[in-house]
Amino acid sequence: MSELVMETDDSAEPGESAALTDSVELALLVVLDSLGPGERLAFVLHDLFAVPFAEIGRILGKSADATKMIASRARRKVRAAERRTVASRERRRVVAAFREAATDGDFAALLRVLDPDVRLTVDTAGGVVVTLGATEVAAGARTVSGAVGRHRTVLVDGRPGYVSWREDGTPLAIISFTVAGGRIAAIAIVADPARLAAMRLPDPA
């Protein structure tokens, strides 16, 4: 079985995600991190400070039309990053709703957040157990909820999830969620102690 790729995702914790809603801050981060010097200059001066393209072109040594194309390219990159952030925030919202419903034992709320054909896969020491269907997964949601007691939010192969630990600090499980169309389409839990022991896990939060 292939190794899972994990990275901590502490921004998903309550109170942290508000920063992600500021599109101007996001745009500036994208500008600083990924745009080339010309793109950065054209985007910042025109889109943020309304400097005419002809004036920006004189700084870059390019025509107004060429400068406009550079700014347009930069703008597409910024908007693409914004779309990814919105999608990521929506996935986190859905996972948070599932976790809350599972913790509260709210069966109706679980059914609302689960895709009718949701697939739950649990990798245990005795083998892989698969459960299909929203009703069946919701009925066993206490097991999933228990896997996120003492936990830390992570991205598992790019998907939102959690790593959880027992009180003695030994790993309990890794749980990850696939979200599609505003509902959870798949849940994957790794609870095999041998596999967990062989993984590089983050420290408990």
Cβ atoms of residues 160 and 179 within 8 Å: yes
Distance of CA 4 to the CA centre of its chain: 15
What is the pLDDT averaged over residues 194-202?
A: 87
Task: State yes or no: pLDDT of 114 exceeds 60.
Answer: yes
Q: Class assignment of domain 17-90? A: mainly alpha
Which is higher by pLDDT, 83 or 156?
156
> Cβ distance 164 to 190 under 8 Å?
no
Instruction: Show Cβ contacts of residue 88 under 8 Å, excluding neighbours closer than 6 positions.
Output: 20, 160
Q: Among residues 145, 146, 144, which one has the least CA distance to residue 131?
A: 144
Write down the CATH number for the domain with range 106-197: 3.10.450.50
- For the segment 56-98, what is each residue's pLDDT rounded down to a tens digit? 999 999 999 999 999 999 998 888 877 777 788 888 889 889 8
For position 14, what pLDDT does the model report? 47
Give me the pLDDT at residue 15, please.
Answer: 45
CB count within 10 Å of CB 1 equals 8
- The 10s digit of each residue's pLDDT in 32-57 is 678 889 998 999 899 989 999 999 99
pLDDT at 106: 87
Q: SS3 sequence, 135-194? A: HHHHHCHHHHHHCCCEEEEEEECCEEEEEEECCCCCEEEEEEEEEECCEEEEEEEECCHH
C-alpha closest to that of 189 among 131, 105, 107: 131
Q: Where are the domains of the chain?
A: 17-90, 106-197
15 Rama class: left (phi>0) / alpha (psi -120 to 50) / beta: left
Give the range with max mean pLDDT: 5-9, 80-84, 180-184. 180-184
When comparing pLDDT for 41 and 142, which is higher? 41
